[in-house]
Amino acid sequence: MLDMNWIRENEELVRNTAKWKKVIFPLDELLEWDDKRRELRRETEQQRTERNRLTKEVERLLRQGDAEGGDAAKEQVRQINGRLTKLEAELAEAEQRCGELLLLAPNPVSADTPIGADDSENVELRRTGSLPDFGFTPRDHVELGELHDIIDIPRGVKAGGPRSYVLKGMGLYLHLAVQRLALDVLTGRGFTVMDVPVIVRPEALERTGFFPGGMDQTYELNGEKRWLAGTSEVSLVSLYSDEIVDAEPPLRLAGMSACFRREVGSAGRDVRGLYRVHQFSKIEQVVICRNDPAESERMLQEILANAEHILQLLELPYRVVAVCSGDMALKTHKQYDIETWMPSRGAYGETHSASNLHDFQARRSGIRFRDENGRLQYCHTLNNTAVATPRILIPLLENHQQEDGSIYIPKALRKYMDGREILPASPPNRN
């Protein structure tokens, strides 16, 4: 959420931001309602002041024995109360409407964010690692999963419907291993790791900027007035809503959770395999810091570096891109994506997304800190994936496959895999 006074002072930037992000934001309607709200507040305060004056006048007149004058003043108070009832109802409506419209206001993008229409205009910043040169026709992760009996998509669909899957045996252990690796890396870098709720209140999604715009991507629990979160970012930020926090040093949080997304609008896209599924697991980084742009930029680079380090430990080639305005969410101020090489796609596929939101979430969520002068200020919040699985299994299996069908296990994962160096080409007996 943006500050209303700031919006008025930066009207042109707000209009441009909506255009750059391709969102519908009725700024003119908001300004009209805010004008009305300001006038109603002024009138209401005037009427309350006059009522207070007349109430004291009634007391004075009655003390003086002027019953007639007291009754006249009482009648004026009665008329003012009638006007106030109407004014307060109109003011409540204006306050509500301004609040609803403010939820639609897009967060301005950083000065170094590329202006573009969609993900085709994201800007590559760097590449790390060498693409595999197989010397043979590589299998995709679905074929490898079937060969090793570690992924069963048909049975997953039988139980859960489209975009479902089952991880079996060593597939499950790989899934857990990359999570353990991410947790250990983040713990070693000062993060507090948490297992957080995935069933959340609607206000948690609204305060973190996922509602009202993302309701079509989110599963609702009918009759419960609660929703399944698509990322533990929702819970991690909500843990501190309406609190005054100690943001020095920054709060570094890591949430482990299942995640659920409806993937509305993705019909026919990425239908094969594990790239786009309804249920997945993720280790998410969240940072809450002071509202110093330089500090939150440093934290953005830090959480980006954490994710890159994990990919380097997994021995996977990847690239970092600056996300353009048209590919950014309403809430985002600056964003990097990490895309990991996926041989079956013949391209890099998104595996991580790092965002700096400035005070957008904290303002909605009421998360504040005291500055050096003791004044309350809204914090900055940031988030980034540490690892999301099963999507990360796509490059992990495909990049590390050998000609005989065996799969190399990166050194950093072996301690979580009972010391195994490879998954052999001959899988265990199928059940």
Give me the active site residues, please.
261, 276, 350, 353, 391
Residue pair 233/277 in contact (Cβ under 8 Å)? The answer is no
Rounded Cα distance between 381 and 403, Å, is 45
In 3D space, the residue among 367, 413, 388, 391 whose CA is nearest the CA of residue 255 turns out to be 388
The answer to whether residues 339 and 363 touch, using CB atoms and an 8 Å cutoff, is no
Length of the chain: 431
The pairing of beta strand 123-128 with beta strand 318-322 = antiparallel
What distance lies between CA 255 and its chain's CA centroid?
Answer: 13
Distance between CA atoms of residues 300 and 335, nearest Å: 9
CA-to-CA distance for 227 and 221, rounded, in angstroms? 6
Strand 380-389 to 407-408 pairing: unpaired
Q: Tell me the torsion sign for CA atoms 395, 398, 402, 404.
A: positive
Enter the DSSP assignment of 159: H
DSSP bridge pairs for 284: 255, 385
Degrees to nearest 5, angle at CA 172 with 171 and 175: 90
Do 50 and 80 touch, CB atoms closer than 8 A? yes
Cα separation, 71 vs 58, in Å, equals 8
